Chain A
Amino acid sequence: MVPEPTVLATKLHAPRRRSVVDRPRLQARVASGQLPALVLVSAPAGFGKTTLVADWFVNNRPAHWRTAWLSLDPTDDDPASFWAGVVAALRTVAAGAGADARSLLQAGQPVETVARSLLNDLAALATPASPADPGPETILVLDDYHVIESAEIHAGVAFLVDHLPPNVHLVLAGRADPPLPLARLRAAGELLEIRAADLRFTPAEAAAYLNEVMGLTLAESDVAALEARTEGWIAALQLAALSMEGRDDPAAFVAGFAGDDRFVVDYLAEEVLERQPADVRRFLLNTAVLPRLTGPLCDAVTGTVGGRAMLERLERANLFLVPLDDRRRWYRYHHLFADVLQARLLDEEPGLIDTLHQRAAAWFEAAGELPEAINHALAGSDTERAARLIELAAPALFRSRQELTARRWLTALPPELFADRPVLAIVAVGAVMVSGELTGVEQLLAGIEPWLEPGADLTAAIVQNQAELAHLPAQVAVYRAALALIAGDLASTIGHAERALDLAPPTDHLRRGSASALVGLARWTGGELAEAEARYADSVGSLTAAGHISDVLGCSLALADIQTARGRVGDAVATLQAGLDLARAHNVVRGTADLHAALCESLLDQGDRPGAARHLEAARALGETAGLPQHPYRWRVAAARLHLADGDGPEGLGLLDEAVARYNTDLSPPVRPAAAVRARAHLATGDVAAARRWARDSGLTADDELSYVREYEHVTLAHLLLAEGSTADAAALLDRLAAAAEAGGRAGSPVETPAGPGRAGPARSGDGPLVDPLSIRELDVLRLLRTDLGGPEIARELHVSLNTLRTHTQRIYTKLGVRNRREAVRRSAELGL
């Protein structure tokens, strides 16, 4: 069972506090008519955003509204934490919601896939009960959304807003406008905005608050003066009211305040703090470092007792304490007030701050709350404790895909801490490499390796997680192999990966699977296809056992490519289909779009055009983000081939142009560059000049030294030479290619004769049965080729253009391995077609 990022229950608690004054003018904004997709409450701190949203959607909501609430904090600026929070919030209104989204998250699925799954659940929730009863409205509130900076999260939220079912609404409250397409939503009438100007207390609301709620009996002119001085800023008016409570002469206070030009909060907070008894003041300053407070924690941090009673006292005194649950256990300070308190503490007792954080870290550690303990340890410069706790928290963090959080913590540690902490260091290597980077990796590995030397005294190492220590040698070897591969050093890749396989016990599926895949990749790049295929098959088995399904899918794609290259399209289809079955069984999406696109090509190779089209459609429906890094170009190649097979040259070539622009093999050998596929399409559609430009730009010549990686390109060049009439050069090149394939032990390596845009496939002329059978359409064409009809007549007969007919005949020639109509008729007769 994969752990989820824990979501604190207090973050899902919708505040029960009501607005201190009735605000019918604001209540009317939501009460009137249909709620839009997005409600945005955007204003600085202390403008009553949270209270207003709670009033609207929790306390005064109509019976058929269901509100899911999530209070965000800076630790949510990590997609894994954020979406786990969203799912947990939705589950408070619908028990089963987001079950799929949660497993998608844990499998590291792209955010759009997660959002899509959530939307499906939301749409199901929002189904009208009957025409008369439109059913419930579901409202998701994300409070303090301004703490989110991750572009990935914003993109996911934008996607969500764009696709919300009509009965589901998103409410974002925060201090800054979110980077969402607000103008478009506004124009579409799908945005309700509440801004500072709307939230400010009007003079009437200020009067109601100060005199009726706080019982201050202020003169109208004093209320007006306060309202003007604070500009209706609610937090400031609350501070002012606290400053005046119990004063004999509030008018004098108002006069003093109104006549001063100090920043209102600075002025008022000082007033309020100075009026507090010494013990309250000290408590406020010492506990201001805590993002959330509870009695025993406060006792630990202040070194006193009575924290719980003090919190209740502060709440009764309206000292900006916000309850986070219904049981009066957890609280937080109002953010604005907390900032003022912390700034004051920093000014008065800067030396105390580390100590306070360290005490909080110790308390949270004892309570088993590692993330909060780590945050406080880092804030309190207690890096030893932070290092120890990060090592313990890391495995769960990685399994729940919170790599960003791990990385944020690890980069906060001084680098020298890693020297005697080899397990922490390997965690850091993983956190960097998982995001596709290499910064600092070499130094970290170099720091670990001395611990692996024979005779190294491991008792001197600081290790929390002994189980990980056992995996260390194999893990280091896997990372070394990956680094060698990135550096293009195939021999070292194989050396390190084989060492990892020697070091990893049979039960260590993850490291065995990674190492096998790395050997497979290196062998493939070197053209050793049989060995590569065997290793990829191993890695598929190991990674399946390890439960890393998306990685299995990536390896299955490589395996299918290799099987195809070896002329075994049927096996490739079986590999890809098994991958799809596995993904379905494990509810994994990432990588399935790639499998469908690859199946489209394989079925085309087999002449199953309807099947190919079905898989292409499945890939399209999943969307580009459901794919691995190669998917954006690969599905376009597949789609192009389908169009070209249908005789639609312009559409196919357009898609190939897009594929060329997106060509990225993500460390796989570039054995079938999109540009070469396009050159073959140009040849097939008669544009020899374009193909020649490709050859020139790629720097290919018939005299090149041959390598497996460039085999497809050189075969393409041979096709080009034939098209240009350089038959002798083409034949010489093809013979050299065939010899190189044989020398490389690639007996089945496909050295084709001219050329559709297809990938490697058919055997040479005269060999056994067709690997790449003719499609039904091509069989139609072949039937007419056996007649005496000329090209234009055949085209008319088939209701296609002459160009399309040429595409078909070229493909038939390619598949049959022949060069002209006469040979095609003879060869097809031999094959009994």
Chain B
Amino acid sequence: MAGRLAPRWSVWFDGLAVAPGDDGTTVLHGPVPDQAALHGLLSKLRDLGLPLISLTQKEDH
């Protein structure tokens, strides 16, 4: 996402790790149980007006 977000937002995003970067962006990462949860998460980003830059699925690990 564009903009640095404080790590304390983690709990708002259902425990996903909030990792602000040095380039003025923030990466949210962590497991999302299903598509419904993913869309719920995207709605939360939208409702805060957080500009989403990209969405990537990581390999299972």
A266 and B5 contacting across the interface, CB-CB below 8 Å:
yes
A176 to B26, CA, bound (A): 22
A265 and B12 contacting across the interface, CB-CB below 8 Å:
no
Q: Can you name 21 A-B pairs with beta carbons within 8 Å?
A: A45-B48, A46-B49, A175-B47, A261-B4, A261-B24, A262-B3, A262-B4, A262-B5, A263-B1, A263-B3, A263-B26, A265-B49, A266-B5, A266-B6, A336-B48, A339-B44, A343-B9, A347-B9, A347-B11, A347-B12, A350-B11
User: Which chain A residues lie closer than 8 Å to B26 at the CB level?
Assistant: 263
Most buried by A among B6, B9, B12, B48: B48
| Additional 17 contacts, C-beta under 8 A, given A265-B49, A347-B12 | A44-B46, A45-B48, A45-B49, A47-B49, A146-B46, A176-B46, A261-B4, A261-B24, A263-B5, A263-B26, A264-B3, A266-B5, A336-B47, A336-B48, A336-B49, A339-B44, A350-B11
User: Which chain B residues lie closer than 8 Å to A235 at the CB level?
Assistant: 49
A350 to B11, CA, bound (A): 9
A47 to B49, CA, bound (A): 9
B19 to chain A minimum Cβ distance, whole angstroms, is 13
A263 and B12 contacting across the interface, CB-CB below 8 Å:
no
What mask results when residues 308 to 340 of chain A are scored 1 for a CB within 8 Å of chain B, else 0?
A: 000000000000000000000000000110011
User: Which chain B residues lie closer than 8 Å to A335 at the CB level?
Assistant: 47
User: Which chain A residues lie closer than 8 Å to B20 at the CB level?
Assistant: 262
A385 to B43, CA, bound (A): 29
Count of chain A residues with Cβ under 8 Å from any Cβ of B? 24
A175 to B24, CA, bound (A): 24
A233 to B24, CA, bound (A): 18
Can you name the residue of chain A whose Cβ is closest to the Cβ of B3? A263
B15 to chain A minimum Cβ distance, whole angstroms, is 11
Residues facing A in B38-58 (CB within 8 A) are 44, 46-50
Count of chain B residues with Cβ under 8 Å from any Cβ of A? 19
Can you name the residue of chain A whose Cβ is closest to the Cβ of B6? A266
A235 to B48, CA, bound (A): 11
Asked if B61 is at the interface (CB within 8 A of a chain A CB), the reply is: no
A266 and B3 contacting across the interface, CB-CB below 8 Å:
yes
Residues of A within 8 A of B (CB): 44-47, 146, 175-176, 233, 235, 261-266, 335-336, 339-340, 342-343, 346-347, 350
User: Which chain A residues lie closer than 8 Å to B46 at the CB level?
Assistant: 44-45, 146, 175-176
A488 to B4, CA, bound (A): 61
A268 to chain B minimum Cβ distance, whole angstroms, is 11
A173 to chain B minimum Cβ distance, whole angstroms, is 14
Most buried by A among B3, B48, B49: B49
B49 and A262 contacting across the interface, CB-CB below 8 Å:
no
A237 to chain B minimum Cβ distance, whole angstroms, is 13
A233 to B2, CA, bound (A): 14
Closest 6 CB pairs of A and B: A263-B3, A261-B24, A343-B12, A44-B49, A347-B8, A262-B4
A346 to B49, CA, bound (A): 19
B50 and A263 contacting across the interface, CB-CB below 8 Å:
yes
Given the known interface contacts A266-B3, A266-B6, the answer about A346 and B48 at a Cβ–Cβ threshold of 8 Å is: no
Can you name the residue of chain A whose Cβ is closest to the Cβ of B46? A175
A339 to B61, CA, bound (A): 32
Query: Out of A146, A233, A343, A347, which one reaches B49, CB within 8 Å?
Result: A233
Most buried by A among B12, B24, B44: B12
A346 and B12 contacting across the interface, CB-CB below 8 Å:
yes
Residues of B within 8 A of A (CB): 1-6, 8-9, 11-12, 20, 24, 26, 44, 46-50
B47 to chain A minimum Cβ distance, whole angstroms, is 6
A532 to chain B minimum Cβ distance, whole angstroms, is 44
User: Which chain A residues lie closer than 8 Å to B5 at the CB level?
Assistant: 262-263, 266
B49 and A266 contacting across the interface, CB-CB below 8 Å:
no
Can you name the residue of chain B whose Cβ is closest to the Cβ of A47? B49
User: Which chain A residues lie closer than 8 Å to B4 at the CB level?
Assistant: 261-263, 266
User: Which chain B residues lie closer than 8 Å to A347 at the CB level?
Assistant: 8-9, 11-12
User: Which chain B residues lie closer than 8 Å to A343 at the CB level?
Assistant: 9, 11-12
A263 to B8, CA, bound (A): 13
A516 to B23, CA, bound (A): 72
A46 to B49, CA, bound (A): 8
User: Which chain A residues lie closer than 8 Å to B1 at the CB level?
Assistant: 263
User: Which chain B residues lie closer than 8 Å to A47 at the CB level?
Assistant: 49
User: Which chain B residues lie closer than 8 Å to A44 at the CB level?
Assistant: 46, 49
Can you name the residue of chain B whose Cβ is closest to the Cβ of A235? B49
A346 to B47, CA, bound (A): 17
A263 to B4, CA, bound (A): 5
A262 to B4, CA, bound (A): 4
User: Which chain B residues lie closer than 8 Å to A265 at the CB level?
Assistant: 48-49
Can you name the residue of chain A whose Cβ is closest to the Cβ of B39? A149
User: Which chain B residues lie closer than 8 Å to A175 at the CB level?
Assistant: 46-47
B32 to chain A minimum Cβ distance, whole angstroms, is 18
Can you name the residue of chain B whose Cβ is closest to the Cβ of A263? B3
B10 to chain A minimum Cβ distance, whole angstroms, is 8
A601 to B43, CA, bound (A): 51
User: Which chain B residues lie closer than 8 Å to A346 at the CB level?
Assistant: 11-12
B27 to chain A minimum Cβ distance, whole angstroms, is 13
Can you name the residue of chain B whose Cβ is closest to the Cβ of A147? B43
A266 to B46, CA, bound (A): 14
A234 to chain B minimum Cβ distance, whole angstroms, is 11
Given the known interface contacts A175-B46, A336-B49, A339-B47, the answer about A261 and B3 at a Cβ–Cβ threshold of 8 Å is: yes
Can you name the residue of chain A whose Cβ is closest to the Cβ of B13? A343
Can you name the residue of chain B whose Cβ is closest to the Cβ of A342? B12
A45 and B47 contacting across the interface, CB-CB below 8 Å:
yes
Can you name the residue of chain A whose Cβ is closest to the Cβ of B25? A261
A146 to B44, CA, bound (A): 12
Query: Out of B6, B8, B24, B48, which one reaches A339, CB within 8 Å?
Result: B48
A11 to chain B minimum Cβ distance, whole angstroms, is 19
A264 to B9, CA, bound (A): 14
User: Which chain A residues lie closer than 8 Å to B50 at the CB level?
Assistant: 263
A46 to B4, CA, bound (A): 19
A346 to B18, CA, bound (A): 15
A208 to B5, CA, bound (A): 30
A663 to B26, CA, bound (A): 54
B52 to chain A minimum Cβ distance, whole angstroms, is 11
Most buried by B among A235, A339, A342, A343: A343
B46 to chain A minimum Cβ distance, whole angstroms, is 6
Query: Out of B2, B9, B24, B44, which one reaches A266, CB within 8 Å?
Result: B9
A340 to B5, CA, bound (A): 12
A350 to B5, CA, bound (A): 19
A343 to B20, CA, bound (A): 17
A190 to B20, CA, bound (A): 44
User: Which chain B residues lie closer than 8 Å to A146 at the CB level?
Assistant: 46
Can you name the residue of chain B whose Cβ is closest to the Cβ of A335? B47
A386 to B51, CA, bound (A): 37
B43 to chain A minimum Cβ distance, whole angstroms, is 8
User: Which chain B residues lie closer than 8 Å to A264 at the CB level?
Assistant: 3
A340 to B1, CA, bound (A): 17
A157 to B58, CA, bound (A): 38
User: Which chain A residues lie closer than 8 Å to B8 at the CB level?
Assistant: 347
A342 to B9, CA, bound (A): 10
User: Which chain A residues lie closer than 8 Å to B24 at the CB level?
Assistant: 261
User: Which chain B residues lie closer than 8 Å to A342 at the CB level?
Assistant: 12
A343 to B14, CA, bound (A): 11
User: Which chain A residues lie closer than 8 Å to B3 at the CB level?
Assistant: 261-264, 266
Can you name the residue of chain B whose Cβ is closest to the Cβ of A338? B47
User: Which chain A residues lie closer than 8 Å to B49 at the CB level?
Assistant: 44-47, 233, 235, 265, 336
A343 to B49, CA, bound (A): 14
User: Which chain B residues lie closer than 8 Å to A336 at the CB level?
Assistant: 47-49
B51 to chain A minimum Cβ distance, whole angstroms, is 8
A340 to B47, CA, bound (A): 10
Can you name the residue of chain B whose Cβ is closest to the Cβ of A236? B49
A261 to B3, CA, bound (A): 6
A235 to B50, CA, bound (A): 13
Can you name the residue of chain B whose Cβ is closest to the Cβ of A262? B4
A266 to B2, CA, bound (A): 12
Can you name the residue of chain A whose Cβ is closest to the Cβ of B24? A261
B49 to chain A minimum Cβ distance, whole angstroms, is 4
